[in-house]
Amino acid sequence: MVEPVRKAVFPVGGLGTRFLPATKAVAKEMLPVIDKPLIQYTVEEAQASGIEQFIFVTGRGKSSIEKHFDHAVELGTSPAEQAKARALKAVSDWLPEPGRVSYTIQPEPLGLGHAVWCARELVGDEPFAVVLTDDLVLSPIPCLKQLLDVYQEKGGNVVAVEDVPKDQTHRYGILDVAGDDGRVAEIKGLVEKPKPEEAPSTLSIIGRYILQPQVFRYLDRHQRGAGGEIQLTDAMASMIGDFPFHGLRFEGRRFDCGSKIGFLEASVAYALERDDLRDDVLRFLRSMV
C-alpha cells in the first residue's frame, strides 16, 4: 500500500511576461480560455482526480486568484437579481469546500523548485502533487488521475511525459530512461534543459508531478541550476535510487498555454468540445481557411 495523495501545489507566482501587456494588471493564471480562467481548469482536474487540499504559491499582483476562489456572496442577494442567481450557481458550484484552499508567498522568482519549496510547511510529511497551470491537458480521464493510478501501482515519484522534437530539448526537463514499455518509462536520470546534442532522450516532463516529501530535503539546499534558478528537476534527480521514479505517457492532448500559440490552440480545442459552441466555431474556422 502506498500513502494516498491528498494535496496539490499550484505554483502561480510567475510574472507572465510573455503575455504583456495583458498581464500587467491581471494574473496570467486568470486569463480565460473561453469563459474560465486557466487556473480553474487545473483545479477542476485536481478535484476530479481526488485531490482534497489545494495549495497556491502566489506572488505580487495575484490577488485576483484569491478573489476567484472566494464565494461571490454579493451575487443574487437582491430579488431584482434573480437572473444573476442562476449564474451564481455556475460560479460557485465548483469551488473547493471552505478550509481546503491555502496560500503562501514566493517572495522572489527563483525557479519552480523554489516555488515548491515555499509550500513545504503546508504540504508536511506526505506525498503531494504539483500542477502547473500553463499546461492544460484535454482528456476524458484527467491527466492527474492517470498519474495517480500509476502511483498506486508503482509508488515513489511519477511525472507526466511526452516526446518533444529533438531541437526543443533545451526548453524542458529531459529523462534518461532505464526501461520503457511504451506507456510507462523507468527513469534513471534527469537533465534540465539540455542542448539537443547532449539530451539523453526526447522524453520531456510536462506540468504534472507526484512527489515524495523527501524532495524538500534537496530543495532545502537552495542549489542553483539551469538559468541560475532552483530547479525542481535537479531535486528530483537527486532522489533517483532512493525511490521508484517513473514517467507516464498520458492519454490526451496537452496545450502549452505559457505560449501564445498554445493558448490560442487550447481556446479552439476546448470550444470544439462544447455543444453550445462547436458548430459556430467550426463555421468560423471554415470561413477563415
Segments in 36-160 forming alpha helices (H): 38-48, 63-68, 82-92, 112-117, 120-123, 143-154
Distance (Å, rounded) from C-alpha 179 to C-alpha 162?
Answer: 15
- Structure confidence by residue, pLDDT tens digits, 113-170: 999 999 999 999 999 999 999 999 999 999 999 999 999 999 999 999 999 999 989 8
Instruction: Output the average pLDDT for the chain.
Output: 89
The C-alpha R_g of the chain, in whole angstroms, comes to 20
Q: How many CA atoms lie within 13 A of 244 on its CB side?
A: 16
Helix pair 278-288, 260-272: axis angle to 10 deg? 130
Q: Which of 30-34, 46-50, 227-231 has the lowest mean pLDDT?
A: 227-231
> Of the CATH numbers 3.90.550.10, 3.90.226.10, 3.40.50.300, 3.30.70.100, which one belongs to the domain with range 7-288?
3.90.550.10
Counted residue by residue, the chain has a size of: 289
The β-bridge partners of 57 are 11, 104
Q: What is the dihedral of CA 241, 50, 123, 223, to 10 degrees?
A: 40
Non-local CB neighbours of 238 within 8 Å, separated by 6+ positions: 218
Give the span between the Cα atoms of 3 and 1, in whole angstroms. Answer: 7
pLDDT (0 to 100) of residue 122 = 96
Q: Is 207 helix (H, G, I), strand (E, B) or coil?
A: strand
Q: Give the predicted TM-score (pTM) of the model.
A: 0.89
Q: At which residue does the C-alpha cell 542542448 appear? A: 195
